[in-house]
Structure 1
Amino acid sequence: MASQQPRCSSFSSTSRTHPRLSVTMDDSFLSEAKSNQKRKLSQKQKTLLFQFPMGSHLSPWPTYTSGQTILQNRKPCSCDYRNRTSSWQQQSFSTTKPRYLEQLENYLRKELLLLDMGTDSTQELRLQPYREIFEFFIEDFKTYKPLLSSIKNAYEVMLAHQREKIRALEPLKAKLITVNEDCNERILAMRAEERYEISMLKKEKMNLLKLIDKKNEEKISLQSEVTKLRKNLAQEYLHYLSERDARKILIADLNELRYQREDMSLAQSPGIWGEDPVKLTLALKMTRQDLTRTQMELNTMKANFGDVVPRRDFEMQEKTNKDLQEQLDSLKADYEEVRKEHEILLQLHMNTLKERDQFFSELQEIQRTSTPRPDWTKCEDVVAGGPERWQMLAKGKNSDELVDVLLEEIGEGLLREKDFFPGLGYGEAIPPFLRYDGLVENKKPTKKDVVNLLKDAWKERLAEEQKEKFPDFFFNFLERRFGPSDAIAWAYTIFENIKLFRSNEVMSQFYAVLMGKRKESVYVNQTETVAQLLKEMTNADSQNEGLLNMEQFSTILRSTFPLKKEEQIQELMEAGGWHPDSSNADLLNYRSLFTEDKEGQSEPFVQKLWEQYMSEKDEYLQEIKQELGLELRDEVTLPKLRGALMNIDPSMDKQTLSTYMSQAFQLPMSELPEEGDEKEQGILTWLCTALERLQVADIRRMGPREPEPAS
């Protein structure tokens, strides 16, 4: 038994490396182990039989004493009852185990001790002695051999099943450890990068603080210079006041001296005494009048021109004042500019602090929730087809799309392994074509078969009058194609496939229409648009060679899509194979733009048409929201939405407008009130609900928006 342990360990390592080889080796090893076990069991049984043969040693202990322990219906007080009780007690204390049972227990104890002596004994080896004891019982008790054998086989089958499960989970455990290590390394790398970004932000913050300090110093120096200039101006003003007062005093002194000199000259005149007194009196009177008048004029002049300075001084002071005023205005302008810059810097600093706090919180949130960027090259060895197929699948896709591709590859394998699907029941939330109880068979079709089946369904749907709902039509189509007995199985199979393969255009569009996330008219109008474009190109190909030059290709695109911008036309031309450095004379095989591969995937040109249609729809709905000027949780009435649609799309006809209104408010067109009716105000819904309903439908711009008048 101890020699079997290395063999088991080597077998487990082989099963981990080669799954298919492990199955065959496991079967051979189990058969060989069973044969060796039976051989050793027979030898040990012979040895045990030789050591302690059964014969008379097999006793039904402790049941063989049961007959002796049954007491007769005696009175407890009788002597016979006392004697029998004492004899029974003696016999019960003297009862011992059968020899065969003791020998089996000793053998089991011995085997277990031998196993415990080994350092690497496993639970599988510890079960071997119990198996041997059970085999002894099966071989010795012939009557119960079938029952005991079935019990043993049932337990052996269960143990083998559990071993297979354990072996299957060992590679997943190793893969989980590897993925955990990779994730830890990426987390450490992201943390290092984030620490570097934080250090750079701190350095930038310090530089901004230094710049703010420098501006504050400049502001303080300018304030000190302004204070100094004001002080100098006050000193000059006081100096000019003192000069003015001194000038007035000097003029008064000069006038006084002049009067004294005139009096002295009159007194010294020799002929003054020879004049007539009357004449002198009259002259004195007139002189006094002149003096009075002169005094009044002098007072008036003093009152009017007492503060007047000479023109030369005035012009000089005016020039000086003007220069100082210009300097003051310049300093004020500089100060105002510096103040505004300081306020802007403070605002920038506050915004920087807010952004820093926001980035730090976002960084913490990203550290808590995000995962490092995956290394997609690891998927090359996992995806069926190897690196070439993975490169073909991953070409031109971002991380989100690569996750979808990887999930589809994994889901495809799991979907292939399923033989049955569980029924979803008959609830109201369950689609009509999936209402079933019990297990449903998985038909396991290929992607090509599913795509062809969906195309046939679309052809039949477009050919009929579309009276029934699309889910009911889908189930009726399956009944007509596969019969009523297999229709539910095909419904579950196709539903699981189109729900899984979201990157496939045919499956994703069919799933959206089937689940009510998109109207049938979206697919129908898009198909008609592509067919109309192909028809225009075919008409332009007069030689029917399947070739067009780039000028013809551009002209057809502009005539078919007159509302598309120039950038969108350029994107379509590039998707069709045109490059800016190529000439217009290059020929294009336009028929290849509308081909599909075996899985229904269209060419980049048709995919670009679909992408532009979805982006134009989103832009159209955003214009409606901006025109309304409401939040998503606000209510919008029917007149407001109608007015917004007419403002952003004046070329829309009444039929199309009624269709959009019916879709937004979920009302039949016959129940929509006329424009100007009072009932319009009572019809309202949430703006977000209306936009979601319009997103489902086929809405597009009918004409160009009128330009706003120039101011």
Structure 2
Amino acid sequence: MLVTSQSTIPCSSLKQYPMSTAKPRYLEQLENYLRKELLLLDLGKDSTQELRLQVRATDKMMAGERPTDSGVRKQEAGYPGTRGRAQTECLAMMVHHASQTSRGLQAAAPQLHGAMKDFAHQREKIRALEPLKAKLVTLNEDCNERIMAMRAEERYEISMLKKEKMNLLKLIDKKNEEKISLQTEVSKLRKNLAEEYLHYLSERDARKILIGDLNELRYQREDMSLAQSPGVWGEDPVKLTLALKMTRQDLTRTQMELNTMKANFGDVVPRRDFEMQEKINKDLQEQLDSLRADYEEVCKEHDSLLQMHMSTLKERDQFFSELQEIQRTSTPRPNWTKCEDVVAGGQERWHMLAADKNSDQLVDVLLEEIGEGLLREKDSFPGLGYGETIPTFLRFDGPVENKKPSKKEVVNILKDVWKERLAQEQKEKFPDFFFNFLERRFGPSDAIAWAYTIFENIKLFHTNEVMSQFYAVLMGKRTESVYINQKETVAQLQKEMTNADSQNEGLLSMEQFSNILKSTFPLKKEEQIQELMEAGGWHPNSNSSDLFNYRSLFMENEEGQSDSFVQKLWQQYVIEKDEYLRELKQELGLELHNEVTLSKMRRALMNIDPNLDKQTLSTYLSQAFQLPISELPEEGNEVEEGTKLCLRLALEQLQMADVKRIGPRDIEPTS
């Protein structure tokens, strides 16, 4: 208000004079002075209020302390020769306009004084808080230094624990080697002990025989010495006759006992030979049982192979007939070498794009190349409007600028989106989060342009792994849990390989690679493990002790394409999910257009996957029926004719989510 009123002083003063009257020189000087002061007052600084008060003081001095109009007139009348007519007119104009402008200033003066007092009070508070601010800065620096010191200590402790871990692993390996050597030595000692035991048994039997022979010889020598002694002839003949008779009786009895023993035990073998023969017989019986079991298994395999052979013959005949029909009706294969001169980069780039791809994949590659050229020629995209079917990040009316980024730039932006998404809690929907990320990164003005540009790129390059997965999640064709599970699986596998690499050289043997795959994926079949090993660089002719660089399996090129090993993991995941849902459909025994109840879906999932825990089962049911987990009825409390849904919709909902088998279908009995 003050600036406006003061800036109009010269104009209002000129209206009092006719156009023919020249402006006085002193009036021009005063107008210039006032313009300069008003320009200074328009500056947006803290001293503006003080300057206004100064102008008010000047105006007040001009209005309140100036001579009255009568005094001016007296001066004009009393001293006409000292001032002149121009000065008198200028002073009169100043007095007249000062009286008009000072009214607003006088009315606003108390408010301005109050504001200046508050301003001065606040400035004093700020000056008093300056030492506290410096103290806070010093305290912040001390805390930062302490944090850095604690982090350095933690890094040192981590390095020491890693070294201790390596030493303990080496000690464990050494102990295992000692254990193996001790077991080998124990087995050798047991074998030696058995041999010594047999040797001692033989020695014992021989010793008994020798003792019997020695006793017999001793008895014969005693008899001979008794017969040759002179005192025998002096014995009584009757006594000798009686002794001879008794001896003959003993001989007859002994002969009878000997004959009885021979008759009873003539066919009896020694216990040692019996035990040995019994052991041999037992071993032969076990071998016979194992051979009989192997024979039965071979017979079963032979029967299955015969059936497979018959089915293969039928399939061969069917395929042969189909081949003849296709050869009769199909068109010739396209000559893909014609694309070498059309694709940017020439023959070398086309060979790189067409490597290990079939005709269908080559068509996709060619369409992407054509679409990329057309996309780069566009300078803008037409807006899709604000309809409800339009995604939230594409709701715009009018032309949208095409930012024309490279594939590498788009992939890097998508990786940054995933990185920020995984780093925070997933509260908002993914499309809203994606648009908010673009606003934070490129600003609200360019966010919609980048949204359209990125959407057109990921919709076109569906052979790119990063873009296709992001497009599926963004359009709701796949849940975020699928991407997160894939990344966690790859990270877990890389961690297992790093732990197995005790020397931290980045090298593993094929045997270690196979063991890690089997322990990480216990439900995969042997054929799937072999496919993963072949994707990692294993060949049937290679040795199990050959080393390879496992870190190269997890590397990506500049466009985000993973190695063939990670791609094979993803392909097996998709095949396993399709097989799992196919088993679920077979277990339900319904057609796709039929309705399935929640209780029947629960029983079918438990039948095909008995190891399914309660939380995972609730997650699958919630995804299939699109219900919150808290609203699902407890097991056993479902109504048989309760919540229903078309089987095709339920399977499509499960196909979008992270669904996989938790355990084997047939539970083996525990021993």
User: How many correspondences in the alignment?
Assistant: 354
Q: Deviations over 1:650-699 (max 9, x none)?
A: 00001000010011111111111122225352211111111100000000
Counterpart of 2:499?
A: 539
Give the secondary structure class of the aligned counterpart of 1:548: strand
- Matched residue type, 2:461: F
The equivalent position to 1:484 in structure 2, one of 418, 430, 444, is 444
1:623 touches 1:648 (CA, 8 Å); kept in 2? yes
1:44-98 deviations in whole A, cap 9, x for unaligned?
xxxxxxxxxxxxxxxxxxxxxxxxxxxxxxxxxxxxxxxxxxxxxxxxxxxxxxx
SS at match of 1:443: coil
Change in 2 beyond 3 A, CA 1:433/1:557: same
Q: Which ranges of 4 or more aligned residues in structure 1 deviate by more than 4 Å?
A: 358-364
Q: Confirm whether residue 689 of structure 1 aligns to residue 649 of structure 2.
A: yes
**Separation in 2 of the partners of 1:529 and 1:415?**
35
Structure 2 residue 501 is matched with structure 1 residue 549: no
Is it true that 1:677 corresponds to 2:630 in the alignment?
A: no
How does 1:284-363 map onto structure 2 within 5 Å?
A: none
* 1:501 Cα offset (Å): 0.3
- 336, 340, 355: which one aligns with 1:380: 340
Q: Helix, strand or coil: the match of 2:400?
A: strand
Matches of 2:366 and 2:563, distance apart in 1: 22
Counterpart of 1:648 in structure 2: which amino acid? I
CA distance in 2, matches of 1:678, 1:511: 37
Equivalent-residue separation in structure 1 for 2:641 and 2:614 (angstroms): 19
Alpha carbons 1:673, 1:680 under 8 Å: kept: no
Could you tell me which residue of structure 2 aligns to residue 625 of structure 1?
585
How far apart, in 1, do the equivalents of 2:591 and 2:353 lie? 41
Q: C-alpha separation between the residues in 1 aligned to 2:490 and 2:602?
A: 30
- Structure 2 residue aligned with 1:581: 541
Q: Which residue of the partner structure matches residue 121 of structure 1? A: none
Paired with 1:672 and 1:471, the residues of 2 have a C-alpha distance of: 27
Task: Answer yes or no: is the 8 Å Cα contact 1:546–1:590 preserved in 2.
Answer: yes
Partner of 2:573: 613
Task: Please give the alpha-carbon distance, in whole angstroms, between the structure 2 residues aligned to 1:360 and 1:537.
Answer: 46
1:559 and 2:519 matched: yes
Distance 2:638 2:447 in 1: 51
Pairing of 1:23-102 with structure 2 (within 5 A): none
2:390 matches 1:426: no
Deviations 1:576-595 (A, max 9, x none): 00001000111010000000
SS of the residue aligned with 1:617? helix
Q: CA deviation at 1:632?
A: 1.1
Letter of the structure 2 residue corresponding to residue 643 of structure 1? R
Residue 599 of structure 2 aligns with which residue?
A: 639
1:448 counterpart residue number: 408
Correspondence for 1:295: none
1:241-267 deviation line (CA, Å, top 9, x unaligned): xxxxxxxxxxxxxxxxxxxxxxxxxxx
CA contact (8 A) 1:664 1:693 kept: yes
Spell out the pairing of 1:82-231 with structure 2 (5 A cutoff). Answer: none
Distance in 2 (alpha carbons) for counterparts of 1:510 and 1:375: 33
Do the aligned residues in 2 keep the contact of 1:423 with 1:434 (CA within 8 Å)? Answer: yes
Q: Which residue of 2 aligns with 1:266?
A: none
Alignment match, 2:532: 572
Structure 1 counterpart of 2:351, one-letter code: Q
Give me the identity figure in percent: 78
Q: Provide, for residues 225-255 of structure 1, a one-character-per-residue CA deviation record: whole Å limited to 9, x for no partner.
A: xxxxxxxxxxxxxxxxxxxxxxxxxxxxxxx
Tell me which amino acid in the other structure corresponds to 2:497.
Answer: M
Q: How far apart, CA to CA, are the structure 2 residues paired with 1:689 and 1:628? A: 14
Gaps of 5+ in 2: 1-313
Amino acid at match of 1:636: V
User: Displacement of 1:708 after TM fit?
Assistant: 9.4
Distance 1:536 1:707 in 2: 27
- 2: CA distance, partners of 1:360 / 1:456: 49
**Contact 2:400-2:452 at 8 Å conserved across structures:** yes
2:372 is equivalent to residue 412 of structure 1:
yes
Query: 1:538 corresponds to which letter in structure 2?
Result: T
Task: Give the 3-state SS of the residue equivalent to 2:639 in structure 1.
Answer: helix
| Corresponding residue to 1:505 among 448, 465, 486 | 465
Name the structure 2 match of 1:42.
none
Q: Give the aligned partner of residue 110 of structure 1.
A: none
Q: 1:359 to 1:586 in 2, by over 3 A?
A: closer
Instruction: Tell me if the contact between 1:662 and 1:668 (Cα under 8 Å) persists in the aligned partners.
Output: yes
Q: Does structure 2 retain, via aligned residues, the 8 Å contact 1:479–1:486? A: yes
Kindly indicate whether the alpha-carbon contact (under 8 Å) linking 1:651 and 1:702 is maintained by their aligned counterparts in 2: yes
Q: Which amino acid aligns with 1:520?
A: E
Change (3 A) 1:678 1:647: closer
1:374 is paired with a residue of what secondary structure? coil
* Distance (whole Å) between structure 2 residues aligned to residue 375 and residue 676 of structure 1: 63
Letter of the 1:637 counterpart: T
The AA in structure 2 aligned to 1:404 is: D
**What is the alpha-carbon distance in structure 1 between the residues aligned to residue 592 and residue 331 of structure 2?**
32
Aligned CA distance change for structure 1 residues 546 and 360 (closer, same or farther; 3 Å): closer
In structure 2, the residue matched to 1:651 is: 611
Residue 519 of structure 1 is matched in structure 2 by: 479
Residue 663 in 1 paired to residue 620 in 2? no
| Contact 1:660-1:699 within 8 A present in 2 as well | yes
- CA distance in 2: counterparts of 1:682 and 1:361, whole angstroms: 53
Asked if the contact 2:599/2:638 (under 8 Å) is kept, the reply is: no
Q: Does structure 2 conserve the Cα–Cα contact (< 8 Å) formed by 1:498 and 1:508?
A: yes
Could you list the per-position Cα deviations for residues 521-562 of structure 1 after superposition, in whole angstroms to 9, with x for gaps in the alignment? 000011011001001100100100000000110011011101
Post-superposition shift, 1:371?
5.2
Structure 1 Cα separation of the partners of residues 544 and 324 of structure 2:
53
Question: CA contact under 8 A between 2:383 and 2:400: conserved in structure 1?
Answer: yes
Residue matched to 2:424: 464
Counterparts of 1:613 and 1:649 in 2: how far apart (Å)? Answer: 17
Amino acid at match of 1:631: E
- SS of the residue aligned with 1:681? coil
Is 1:550–1:587's contact at 8 Å kept on the other side of the alignment? yes
1:588 counterpart SS class: strand
Q: Offset at 1:633?
A: 1.3
User: Which residue identity lines up with residue 437 of structure 2 in the other structure?
Assistant: F
Structure 1 residue 374 displacement after superposition: 1.5
Q: Which amino acid aligns with 2:538?
A: W
What is the SS of the residue equivalent to 1:444? coil
**CA 1:539 to 1:499, structure 2 compared with 1: closer, same or farther past 3 Å?**
same
Q: Displacement of 1:373 after TM fit? A: 2.4
CA drift of 1:628 comes to 1.0
